[in-house]
């Protein structure tokens, strides 16, 4: 959510394309929440099997220490989210480290999958709220322009 706020204040020329991407990914209406929840569940399950399951298992078999395995799988996870910009890469990598530590400490993917799904669902609900506010601001500005 902090990334969305930062994007809203950004003066970068990339702001518009990133905002357009966020509007395509995040739900824009309550009708879009149901398919978005399905996407969040699928993403949480698939990404955790890929990054905390498969990648960590392969890296562990090379004999690397657990900390290095967690860091490398988290960097790969962050790189997969680079389309969100530098802040998206960093925040996703940090989240990957937290998920990786949890995976290693608990010895199970299940809690991490559930947490990942929760993070994605909360992002979608927040995105819906933000898109509603943006639409209201646009309507308000249009009304102000008509009155002037």
The whole-number pLDDT of residue 122 equals: 86
CA distance 38 to 49: 17
| 135 pLDDT higher than 70 | no
What is the pTM (predicted TM-score) of this model?
A: 0.73
The full set of domain ranges for the chain reads 34-140
CA distance 46 to 52: 10
Mapped onto helix, strand or coil, the DSSP state of residue 29 is coil
Closest to 70 measured CA to CA, from 109, 49, 96: 96
Q: Where residue 30 falls among pLDDT bands split at 50, 70, 90?
A: confident
pLDDT in tens, 14-27: 667 766 766 666 77
């Amino acid at each position: 959510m902090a990334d969305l706020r930062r994007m809203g204040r950004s003066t970068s020329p990339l702001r518009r394309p990133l905002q357009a991407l966020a509007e395509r990914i995040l739900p824009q209406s309550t009708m879009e929440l149901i398919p978005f929840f399905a996407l969040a569940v699928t993403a949480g399950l698939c990404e955790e099997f890929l990054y905390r399951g498969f990648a960590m298992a392969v890296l562990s078999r090379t004999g690397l220490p657990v900390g290095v395995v967690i860091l490398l799988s988290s960097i790969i996870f962050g790189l997969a989210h680079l389309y969100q910009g530098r802040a998206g890469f960093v925040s996703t990598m940090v989240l990957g480290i937290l998920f990786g530590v949890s995976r290693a400490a608990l010895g199970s993917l299940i809690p991490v999958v559930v947490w990942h799904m929760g993070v994605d669902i909360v992002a979608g609900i927040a995105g819906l709220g933000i898109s509603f506010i943006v639409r209201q601001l646009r309507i308000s500005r249009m009304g102000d322009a008509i009155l002037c």
